[in-house]
Amino acid sequence: MSALTDRFGRVHNYLRISVTDRCNLRCLYCMPEEGMQFEPAENLLTYDQIAEVVRAGASLGISKLRITGGEPLVRPGLADLVKQLSAIPGINDISLTTNGILLADQAEALREAGVNRVNISLDTLDPARFKFIARRGDLQRVLKGIEAAAKVGFAPIKLNCVLLKGVNEDEIAAFLRMAYEQPLHVRFIEYMPIGHADDNWRNHYLPLTRVLEIAQENGLNVAQIDDVKGNGPSDDYRIEGGKGSFGLIHPISDHFCKRCNRLRLTADGHIHPCLYWVDELNVKPALGDPAKLLELFGRAMDLKPQNHEMAAKLANESLSHEPTSRRMSQIGG
């Protein structure tokens, strides 16, 4: 097998690796405030085991990695893992998704270890609202993390803003100004029903057409672009005369499954072919046997569905498959 190609002709070269299901925040769209059952440390893949899985994937064409969580920076020694992964032949891009709380202290070490780019969660620019959405933490620490990311040379720096109807939609214009005034890439993301397709999701879901409406209402001239590195599923735009850019990630209102190129490796050692569906493959029995690991990647391609059907869930239509009960923090965003 020279490339990871699924039944629908999609070639997969991208692996998202969750290193922990724990987080120092409790964002309302990601996990409940109380009652989460976290994996014991002994159940998590070790860094050496993660590297073993990545070596198998790299031999099949995986070239891009993203380190996720939970919050990946709460796991000790993350830079050591990055060093291991960056040394694997075929791996040419390593990025990180973080809430930014601990980034200021670790940015330099991560950059030196081999992280090229960072995505930083930032759902609001208001300190009080930050406490409401994240349920803990300090907005100023996130802003310092963004400053540190720029200082050490991460590029591009992407800010992930999950839009929530009735919560932060009134800040769309402020985020667009940020994308105009600063060399940042602001990505607006639709609220997804991962592990909790309940009334809270339905009540707070907001289609991203609203972002373009706000841009028009504010007299902004925007043009679609395709030069944002690692844009993945994002439809990207630049405001005329602006220093930065913004993107729309709309998995529900206009899903991008037809160009999906990613797999996920959970912190407890499962290959997850599709974020929304229940299917996953345990890698632990295959560790130490490269042939079995290669076989697992092939089986993941066979399990990969054509699309995730989140829009059907929003419309209360029947689904063709079983959604996962895992929360986003347990799979890896």
Residue 89 confidence (pLDDT): 97
**Residue ranges of domains in the chain, CATH in brackets:** 4-331 (3.20.20.70)
Output the pTM of the full model: 0.90
What is d(CA 88, CA 58) in angstroms, rounded to the nearest whole number?
8
What is d(CA 165, CA 33) in angstroms, rounded to the nearest whole number?
19
Residue 1 confidence (pLDDT): 42
In 283-327, the DSSP E strands lie at none
191 neighbors 29 (Cβ within 8 angstroms): yes
Distances (CA, A) of 299 to 133, 172, 175, 323: 38, 41, 41, 19
pLDDT tens figures, 204-237:
888 888 999 999 999 999 999 987 876 567 889 9
pLDDT tens figures, 101-144:
999 999 999 999 999 999 999 999 999 999 999 999 999 999 99
What is d(CA 247, CA 256) in angstroms, rounded to the nearest whole number?
14
